[in-house]
Amino acid sequence: MIGVIEGQQREKGGPSERNDRLLAVAVSSHTHSNIHKTRDLNPMLLDELEHFLINYHVDDGKKFKVLGSKGPGDAAKLLRKSERRHR
């Protein structure tokens, strides 16, 4: 995992809820092996990923708002928290 895009999502007329997205790069990637954290990404690529998430949810009648992005440590904490919640 290289990081997380933090997001908030809301269905039309409904309450907002967090919908963070973990970002990862395959260990065996030949083209992205130099990427270890979100700061290693080209800023334009990170911007494209954020816009993809916003537009992806429009088709479902949902609004996705990007709150920010964080690195691998925060992504790992988020994953552990999610694992504990689902046990």
User: Tens-digit pLDDT profile for the chain (87 aa)?
Assistant: 999 999 999 988 889 999 999 999 998 999 998 999 999 999 999 999 999 999 998 888 899 999 999 999 999 999 999 999 888
- What DSSP line would sit under 16-38, residue for residue? EEE--EEE---TT-SSSTT--SG
For residue range 10-22, list pLDDT tens digits in order: 988 889 999 999 9
Which residue's structure tokens are 């992205």? 32
Q: pTM of this prediction? A: 0.88
In the chain, domain spans: 3-85
Q: What is the DSSP letter of 45?
A: H
